[in-house]
């Protein structure tokens, strides 16, 4: 089980949004590379990065900030937001990224995701962002009629490394992870699932470690870490103890 600290990038800064609204961005650190180092120093093993501007633009916008993060930390980094082509994927992986997250393109062009998994085994994740049980695309700005499980099952056997499942209705507002829908998804596919959206307290960490959540790869935490609602040492100690 892995706790992924999140760095969301908007205009080169580390921010958090509420409910995916770009107009409701709180700047937590103007220096994302420094934030990446801080998370590594606290003992985290991975880093989850999202190029928010890129998610809306359909191409990398905060590339310089991501490059700085990659230079600043030894931890593996996964990146989502605006990665829509095989060239984008190859470019990022060649620059030191450990895993790319494909969201909108997984809906628009699932064949590209399958091809990416063949070319870059173990380095391609699918991001499924849902609102009201339906998948949202284009930086959460557009809703589709596609169900979460329906989309996830399209990639069974394709070699997808993980599914990052975000409940938009809970993102950034500290109401707790939507465990019902997250565990339903995890039970429906063999692909490891990473929970995102709403992680609020150490109780969510404990819930993540219960037996019925064993199919989860982990969870992503943003605002709860930045606001001090979760103590990194306590959370990481619980996870370490659960690993035995």
Instruction: Identify the three-state secondary structure at position 75.
Output: coil
Nearest Cα residue to 186 out of 205, 222, 159, 162? 162
pLDDT attached to residue 144? 65
Per-residue model confidence as pLDDT tens for the chain (244 residues): 999 999 999 999 999 887 667 788 889 999 999 999 999 999 999 999 999 999 888 888 999 999 999 999 999 999 999 899 999 999 999 999 999 999 989 999 999 999 999 999 999 999 998 887 778 776 555 576 789 999 999 999 999 999 999 987 655 556 788 899 999 999 999 999 999 988 999 999 999 999 999 899 999 999 999 999 999 999 999 999 998 7
169 is catalytic: no
pLDDT attached to residue 167? 84
Cα dihedral 243→93→144→190 (10° resolution)? -40
pLDDT attached to residue 172? 52
C-alpha 92/C-alpha 99 separation (Å) is 9
The kind and range of the H/E element at 20 are none
Domains of the chain: 2-243 (3.20.20.70)
C-alpha 90/C-alpha 113 separation (Å) is 13
8 is catalytic: yes
Nearest Cα residue to 52 out of 84, 13, 88, 108? 13
Contact call for residues 172 and 222 (beta carbons, < 8 A): yes
Instruction: Identify the three-state secondary structure at position 14.
Output: strand
Nearest Cα residue to 160 out of 91, 78, 219? 78
Global pTM reads 0.94
pLDDT attached to residue 230? 96
pLDDT attached to residue 14? 96
Contact call for residues 188 and 215 (beta carbons, < 8 A): no
pLDDT attached to residue 202? 95
Contact call for residues 136 and 167 (beta carbons, < 8 A): no
C-alpha 28/C-alpha 22 separation (Å) is 14
pLDDT attached to residue 140? 52
Catalytic residue among 11, 87, 129, 167: 129
* Cα–Cα distances in angstroms (integers) from residue 181 to residues 11, 23, 139, 200, in the given order: 32, 27, 21, 17
pLDDT attached to residue 170? 59
């Amino acid at each position: 089980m892995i706790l992924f600290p999140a760095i969301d990038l908007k205009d080169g800064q580390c921010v958090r949004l509420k409910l995916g609204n770009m107009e409701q961005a709180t700047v937590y650190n103007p220096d994302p590379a420094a934030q990446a180092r801080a998370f590594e120093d606290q003992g985290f093993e991975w880093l989850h990065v999202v190029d928010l501007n890129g998610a809306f633009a359909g191409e990398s916008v905060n590339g310089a900030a991501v490059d700085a993060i990659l230079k600043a930390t030894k931890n593996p980094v996964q990146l989502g937001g605006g990665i829509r082509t095989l060239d984008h994927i190859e470019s990022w992986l060649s620059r030191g990224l450990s895993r790319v997250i494909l969201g909108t393109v997984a809906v628009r062009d699932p064949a590209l995701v399958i091809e990416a998994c063949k070319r870059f085994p173990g380095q391609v994740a699918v991001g499924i962002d849902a609102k009201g049980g339906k998948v949202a695309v284009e930086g959460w700005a557009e809703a589709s009629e596609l169900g979460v499980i329906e989309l996830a099952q399209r990639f069974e056997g394709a070699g997808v490394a993980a599914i990052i499942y975000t409940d938009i209705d809970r993102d950034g507002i500290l109401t707790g992870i939507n465990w019902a829908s997250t565990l339903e998804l995890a039970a429906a596919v063999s692909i490891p699932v990473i929970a995102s959206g709403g992680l609020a307290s150490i109780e969510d960490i404990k819930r993540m470690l219960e037996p019925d959540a064993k199919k989860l790869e982990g969870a992503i935490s943003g605002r709860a870490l930045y606001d001090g609602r979760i103590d990194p040492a306590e959370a990481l100690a619980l996870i370490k103890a659960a690993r035995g």
